[in-house]
Amino acid sequence: MSIRQNIAEAAQKLKQEKGLSYEDICGNGGITRKQVSAILHGKKGVSLELIERVFKDVFEEELIVCLLTDLG
């Protein structure tokens, strides 16, 4: 599995756990719906810096911790 897919899986899990909508993520992260979709689906077009910021500001988690956590 690619790093982007791992990030997408972690983001989807956190989105669900925290009960966040696309609009919540957009508003709290200052990003567009297209960028949210790219993060949640592991698509290209979103910088790692932006992804890190979303994890920190929206999910209140450090990206590295999420990637090391068993998502199963």
Question: pTM for the full model?
Answer: 0.84
Q: Does residue 72 have a pLDDT over 70?
A: no
Question: Which long-range contacts (C-beta less than 8 Å, at least 24 apart) are formed by 67-72?
Answer: 67/3, 67/6, 67/7, 67/10, 69/10, 71/6, 71/9, 71/10, 71/13
What integer is the mean pLDDT of 28-53?
93
pLDDT value of residue 65: 64
Q: 44-63 pLDDT, tens per residue?
A: 989 989 999 999 999 998 88
pLDDT value of residue 70: 64
Q: 18-28 pLDDT, tens per residue?
A: 999 999 999 98
Helix extents (H) in 1-72: 3-18, 22-29, 33-41, 48-57, 63-68
Q: CA 27 to CA 2: how far, in whole Å?
A: 28
Whether 63 contacts 50, CB under 8 Å: no
